[in-house]
Amino acid sequence: MRPRPLRFLPLALLPLLVAGCDEADTNLFTFPVRGINFTFAFTGDQVAGTTLTVAADGSANILDDIRDQGFGPEEVARVRLESGEAEVRILQAPTGVNIGFLDDVALRLSGGGTSVEVASAEDVSGGTSMLNEVDLDVSSEDIAPIVTAGTFDAFLDVSADEGIPDGTYRIEVRFDVEVAVEGF
């Protein structure tokens, strides 16, 4: 009797099918959306010694990224920022100022009637780097209701030292998300 090579084909393909599945729920398929970024602008006198809420210069929409994977917004089970993949960095500041001028930052996303804090950093001055960027601590908040509503906005709560120079500051926040969809 000759062996049937196709008998083992389903077992050979199993790792490929499970690779994108969520470990906690095998009915979910996950994929990343990378490089979501927002830019925020303010002046030194607006933020010195206080906390200022700054709206991003633009909005974001990742529905095309979800559709490119073959899914619609109605199939999205959850969306979360990827841990370790969120950062804040200076794009523009007065000469000699580094990221350490910030005390605390908190990123909130808003859309579809919902607003959620998704990332933050406390005592930023302790995490300064030559790159003028700091990693943000990411929350485990599900932002699916925000991103599936279409366009969403970002707000940055910023506090800074009292003695920061006046001038224009532009800060970029960049992050990646993991999208989990149902029906797999």
Confidence of residue 50 (pLDDT cuts 50, 70, 90): confident
What pLDDT does 8 receive?
A: 42
Q: CB–CB of 103/123 below 8 Å?
A: yes
Q: What are the beta bridge partners of residue 143?
A: none
- Dump the DSSP string for 1-48: ----GGGGHHHHHHHHHHTTB-SS-TTEEEEEEEEEEEEEEEEHHHHB
What pLDDT does 77 receive?
A: 97
What pLDDT does 103 receive?
A: 87
pLDDT digits (tens, 9 = 90+) for 89-105: 999 999 888 888 888 99
pLDDT digits (tens, 9 = 90+) for 116-166: 999 999 878 655 555 688 899 999 999 999 999 999 999 999 998 777 888
Q: What's the rounded Cα separation, in Å, for the pair 87 and 172?
A: 8
Confidence of residue 43 (pLDDT cuts 50, 70, 90): very high
* Helix (H) / strand (E) containing 63: helix 63-68
Type of residue at 73: P
Q: What is the mean pLDDT of residues 33-60?
A: 94
Q: What's the rounded Cα separation, in Å, for the pair 173 and 145?
A: 21
What pLDDT does 2 receive?
A: 47
